[in-house]
């Protein structure tokens, strides 16, 4: 467009971040994270009139000055960011936004995956997308005879503990088939490929359990952007993220795999996880899914068996107690050369969580 200047920064410098932050604040939005790329659009007088950013495969922090809303600057910004992403090997992109503006992304080739009331919506474009992932799910689907039931457990397993194993064992007894969906986002101390294999090994004795990956369709707090929720508390943001994630689960996994029960461990300590459980109680029954809470496994002295406890014990080099909290397959992995780098990061505090 004549007279305007469109600049791509990969990544934006601290000075450019200040410019973007100030512009977003003017438009009721929040600057967050460290984007891989940002676009700043200026009018002929050098005044900032639009911006947008890319973090991983998530397009975010898109804002346009009111006077320029009809100039298709959003298309210009997204084109530049997607071109940059593709130059880095990305072929699949997401947008999280408010539902009342979600429709404008449809004209750019995005497809809506889920929305939660007036708070948030998630859309995607590119390949491999949700249809490709559905094929993967169908390849792993167990055919249900009349009267048979299928359930699901969604886990991160960072790492896989006796607590996870207990939850899955209890759930497997309550349904004919159980899908254990392992969160694929590689945002944990233990890499996904290690976590996935540990879950498979730790559940190999259960004939009616199928372990599958979540693809990009488990909304992680680390990827869910909250820039369009200025003024919202951490608790409110976590609550909305949880409800969007549960809605996506209900839209995708439930009908594809014919899931009628979802199993979770009780959560007496973590407010965020407890909020997530509340989100499932709100959304799943209306979608024909029973939520079943299973009491968490505890040790003889009352300690909850959890992955966070195991990581704390790793930092303390308390291998005697670690062995009490993990199945043999996880123990074998933890003492192997394969886990050395991960353990070192955790001990140095470099593990993400």
pLDDT tens digits, one per residue of 234-262? 778 888 888 999 999 999 999 999 999 99
Report angle CA 329, 353, 156 to the nearest 5 degrees: 50
Residues 254 and 169 in one domain: yes
Domain count, the chain: 2
pLDDT tens column, 182-197:
999 877 899 999 999 9
Strand partners, 182: 155, 213
Residue 296's CB is within 10 A of a number of other CB atoms, namely 17
Co-location of 159 and 61 in the same domain = no
Does residue 285 surpass a pLDDT of 90?
Answer: yes
Q: Are residues 53 and 163 in the same domain?
A: no
Q: What average pLDDT does this structure show over 259-277?
A: 79
In a domain, 238, yes or no: yes
pLDDT band at 331 (very low <50, low <70, confident <90, very high): very high
Residue (of 146, 22, 126, 19) closest to 81 by Cα position: 126
Domain residue limits at 58: 1-90
In terms of C-beta density within 10 A (0-12 exposed, 13-18 middle, 19 or more buried), how is residue 92 classed? middle
pLDDT-derived band at 353, boundaries 50, 70, 90: low
Residue 133 within a domain: no
**Model confidence pTM above 0.75:** yes
Residue 275 has pLDDT above 80, yes or no: no
Q: Which residues lie closer than 8 Å to 266 by C-beta, 6 or more apart? A: 277, 293, 294, 295, 296
Percent of the chain predicted with pLDDT > 90: 72
Grade residue 351 by pLDDT with cuts at 50, 70 and 90: very low
């Amino acid at each position: 467009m004549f007279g305007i200047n469109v600049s791509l920064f990969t990544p934006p410098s601290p000075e450019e971040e200040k410019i973007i932050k100030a512009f977003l604040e003017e438009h009721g939005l929040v600057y967050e994270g460290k984007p891989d790329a940002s676009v700043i659009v200026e009018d002929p007088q050098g005044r900032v009139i639009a911006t947008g950013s890319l973090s991983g495969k998530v397009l975010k922090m898109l804002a346009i000055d009111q006077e320029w809303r009809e100039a298709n600057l959003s298309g210009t910004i997204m084109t530049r960011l997607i071109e940059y992403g593709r130059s880095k090997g990305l072929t699949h992109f997401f947008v999280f936004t408010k539902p009342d503006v979600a429709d404008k992304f449809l004209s750019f080739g995005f497809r809506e995956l889920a929305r939660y009331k007036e708070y948030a919506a998630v859309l995607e474009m590119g390949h491999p997308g949700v249809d490709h992932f559905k094929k993967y799910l169908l390849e792993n689907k167990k055919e249900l005879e009349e009267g048979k039931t299928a359930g699901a457990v969604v886990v991160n397993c960072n790492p896989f503990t006796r607590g996870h194993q207990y939850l899955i064992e209890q759930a497997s007894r309550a349904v004919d088939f159980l899908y254990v969906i392992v969160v694929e986002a590689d945002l944990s101390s233990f890499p996904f490929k290690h976590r996935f294999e540990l879950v498979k090994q730790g559940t190999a004795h259960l004939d009616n359990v199928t372990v599958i990956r979540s693809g990009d369709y488990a909304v992680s707090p680390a990827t869910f952007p909250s820039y369009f929720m200025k003024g919202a508390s951490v608790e409110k943001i976590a609550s909305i993220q949880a409800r969007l994630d549960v809605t996506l689960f209900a839209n995708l996994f439930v009908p594809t795999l014919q899931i009628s029960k979802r199993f979770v461990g009780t959560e007496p300590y973590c407010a965020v996880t407890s909020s997530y459980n509340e989100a499932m109680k709100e959304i799943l029954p209306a979608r024909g899914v029973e939520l079943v809470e299973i009491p968490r496994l505890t040790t003889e002295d009352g300690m909850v068996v959890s992955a966070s406890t195991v990581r704390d014990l790793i930092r303390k080099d308390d291998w005697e107690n670690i062995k009490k909290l993990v199945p043999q397959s996880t123990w074998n992995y933890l003492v192997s050369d394969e886990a050395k780098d991960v353990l070192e990061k955790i001990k140095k505090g470099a593990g993400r969580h």
